[in-house]
Homo-oligomer: A and B are copies of this chain.
Amino acid sequence: MAEKEERKVTPRSQDFAGWYNDIILRAELADYSPVRGCIVFRPDGFAIWEALRDELDRRIKKTGARNAYFPLFIPQSFIHKEARHIEGFSPELAVVTHGGGKQLEEPLIVRPTSETIINHMFAQWIHSHRDLPMMVNQWCNVVRWEMRTRMFLRTTEFLWQEGHTAHATQAEAERETLTMLEVYRSFCEEYLAIPLVTGRKSAAERFAGAVETYTIEGLMGDGRALQCGTSHFLGQNFAKAFEIRYLDDNNQLQQVWQTSWGVSTRLLGAIIMVHGDDQGLRIPPAVASVQVVIVPIWRKPEERESVLGAARAAFAALDTAGVRVRLDDREGLTPGFKFNDWEMRGVPVRVEIGPRDVASGEVVLARRDAPGKESKRKAPIAELPARSRALLDEIQRDLYAQALARREAETRQFDDYASFQKQMEGEGGGGLADVYWCGAAACETRIREETKATCRAIPLSQQIAPGRCIVCGETASERAFFAKAY
């Protein structure tokens, strides 16, 4: 493997979108594919998805939902059963018209989301109040024919989980919607170290077919917001369309109340855009498939065996302790090249072992999130597993704290429309604007058209005095977060 002089990564401050794409390609997370708008998840990128998926799957199962799998294809007529659902998804559908060499009698839609087919099945399975709640989740691919695509954030095909539940009462379904919002929030904050604002969506931003949509929103490194997950209270919209009814304990036929909720591979984009820097990725330790990389360093051939021996012992000690560790014993590459390579890939901790370290029974620990000599620490080899674990915990906390500090610095309250508008002008982000809004669609539209900012979230349970809508000046009882968004 020659040490090629590779083109430098576009600086993040100079061109955020260019930086983002460079990082994804250079860290080998994903690649473009020959299919319009579809990407290839390469092993290093897919490993992050697998770690994230396994942890979120555990948390979802804890709430009582069970995994299932429904067909990829949906009969075209199903999509049309819920009026707002088809209105929302109609422009984005991929349609199978031929199968087995023949034209199909009824075209099949490649699922853009599975409310329709799952609720068709729920209608077969739900008969009595004893069958409720019914809670299923599926991990799958979905397809939405997007006009403008961007790796991980918006692709024609993407991977996600979609949960679908049916309940006997409105209160229970509403509770479920908020339970899942909280599962998503705590998962993203604890596991991905991404601080979030949460709240409900405005009518304009609601899921097609939902009564209420709740969202978790992150702020990316360029000051734009990213919707990281949504949880929908569907009311009885789909229950009516698909006739999902049950006998209550008085033997009366009732319609169920429903929810659906999902997060997708878009979260990989969030990790990059929240934590990455000009040297590459910075992967939060909890989700890193390699948490510690060991780089042995020697100059003279006679040093090789003792250094490699110590490196192998360090690997074994960390591996036994359950740390996800990799030994980079590649030949013919300088330590400096390896350092850069692992920094690009975002491995949280690097362990350096040289001849003098072997002699003194020590190793050097370097943090990906705090480059430079001053943050390096020496540790006795015997303490390496304990010290690594403590350091990984510290990095996880620090990445979150750093992202939170930036989010807070980039969150601004505005009382007058002109300052708000000024803040949103210019290239890139603009941060989160926290403003009084009367809730009128007209005011929201004016904001979108004049500032490109959209309503990201209206926080729940606001304990504030009424104020004046930032647009029209009418009385407003709530504040909302507006931002330019991906």
Interface residues in chain A, defined as those with a beta carbon under 8 Å from any beta carbon in chain B: 1, 31, 33-35, 38-43, 46-47, 49-50, 66-75, 78, 90-101, 107-108, 110, 117, 120-121, 124-125, 128, 130, 136, 140-141, 143, 145, 147, 156-157, 159
Given contacts A71-B38, A96-B94, contact A31 B121 (CB under 8 A): yes
A33 contacts which of B42, B46, B117, B159 (Cβ < 8 Å)?
B117
Q: Is the interface of A mostly helix, strand, loop or mixed?
A: mixed
Instruction: Give 24 A-B contacts (CB < 8 Å), ordered by A residue.
Output: A33-B121, A35-B74, A40-B70, A40-B71, A40-B121, A41-B70, A42-B68, A43-B66, A43-B68, A43-B136, A46-B68, A46-B69, A49-B69, A71-B157, A90-B101, A92-B100, A94-B96, A95-B98, A96-B96, A96-B97, A96-B110, A97-B98, A98-B107, A140-B141
Each complex incorporates copies of this chain amounting to 2
Give bound CA distance, A53 to B147, whole Å: 35
Q: Who on chain B is nearest to A128 by CB?
A: B1
Query: Roughly how many angstroms separate A93 CA and B96 CA in the complex, as a whole number?
Result: 10
- Across chains A and B, which 6 residue pairs bring their CB atoms closest together, nearest first? A100-B145, A43-B66, A38-B71, A41-B69, A95-B98, A99-B145
B-chain residues with CB within 8 Å of residue A47 when the two chains form the complex: 66-67
* Nearest neighbor of A116 in chain B, beta-carbon distance: B34
B contact residues around A49 at 8 Å (CB): 69
Min CB gap A478→B, angstroms: 36
A141 CA / B91 CA spacing, docked (Å): 24
A159's nearest neighbour on chain B, judged by CB, is B69
**From residue A70, how far is it (CB to closest CB) to chain B in Å?**
5
User: Looking across the interface, which residue of chain B has its beta carbon closest to that of A77?
Assistant: B34
Q: Which of A31, A34, A90 has the most CB of B within 10 A?
A: A34
Q: A94-B98, A96-B94 are in contact. Are A73 and B43 (CB under 8 A)?
A: no
Q: How far is the CA of A121 from the CA of B41 in the complex (A)?
A: 11
A289 (CB) vs chain B CBs: closest residue? B66
